[in-house]
Amino acid sequence: MATTNKYGSGISLPELMVPTQAATIFTAQENSLYLPGVLVPMVSVPAGSDSVKIAKLESVTAATLNRTEVDPGVDFTPLLPGAAATTINLDLIAARTVLRDLGGVDSADMGRVMGNAIAAKVDTLVSTALAGLTAQESLGVNLLDEMYKAIGTIRAAGETGPLNCVVSAAAYAGFMEKIGSAAFAAADVQNAAMRSGFIGVIAGVPCYTSAYLNDTNTSLTNTKFAVFSNDALRIAMQGGVNVEAERRASAVGQDIVASAAFGVAVTDATRGVIVQDAV
CA atoms of 146 and 232, how far apart (whole Å): 19
| DSSP, res 17 | H
**Per mean pLDDT, which range of 92-101, 128-137, 176-185 is the poorest?**
176-185
**Per mean pLDDT, which range of 38-52, 57-71, 94-108, 206-220 is the poorest?**
57-71
Cα distances from 77 to residues 59, 158, 199, 232, 247, in angstroms, run 15, 21, 46, 27, 64
In which element (H, E) is residue 228 found? strand 223-229
CATH number of 7-56+77-276: 3.90.1690
Q: Which residue has the higher pLDDT, 30 or 253?
A: 30
Question: pLDDT at residue 194 above 80?
Answer: no
DSSP letters along 94-153, please? EEEEEEESSS-EEHHHHHHHHHHHHHHHHHHHHHHHHTTSEEEE--SS-HHHHHHHHHHH
CA atoms of 224 and 214, how far apart (whole Å): 8
Tell me the per-residue pLDDT of 239-254, one tens digit each, with 9 for 90 and over. Answer: 899 998 888 888 887 7
Question: How is the chain split into domains, by residue range?
Answer: 7-56+77-276
In terms of phi and psi (left: phi > 0; alpha: psi -120 to 50; beta: otherwise), the region of 76 is beta
pLDDT of residue 18: 78
Question: Which one-letter amino acid corresponds to residue 125?
Answer: L
pLDDT of residue 1: 38
Quickly state the pLDDT bin for 31 (edges 50, 70, 90). very high
CA-nearest of 265, 200, 261 to 41 is 265
**Per mean pLDDT, which range of 2-11, 205-214, 248-257 is the poorest?**
2-11
Helix, strand or coil, per DSSP, at residue 16? helix
CA-nearest of 204, 273, 269 to 231 is 269
CA atoms within 13 A on the CB side of 95: 18
Cβ 233 vs Cβ 128: under 8 Å: no
Quickly state the pLDDT bin for 6 (edges 50, 70, 90). very low
Give the percent of the chain with pLDDT over 90: 48
Question: pLDDT at residue 9 above 70?
Answer: no
Helix, strand or coil, per DSSP, at residue 62? coil
End-to-end Cα distance, the chain: 60
pLDDT of residue 81: 64
Phi, psi for 86 (deg, rounded to 5): -105, 130
What's the chain's average pLDDT? 84
What count of other Cβ atoms lies within 10 Å of the Cβ of residue 258? 27
pLDDT of residue 272: 96
CA atoms of 23 and 29, how far apart (whole Å): 10
Cβ 168 vs Cβ 214: under 8 Å: yes
Rounded average pLDDT over 116-143:
92
pTM: 0.84
Helix, strand or coil, per DSSP, at residue 244? strand
Cα distances from 33 to residues 60, 168, 197, 208, 219, in angstroms, run 31, 13, 16, 8, 20
Quickly state the pLDDT bin for 69 (edges 50, 70, 90). low
CA atoms of 9 and 253, how far apart (whole Å): 8
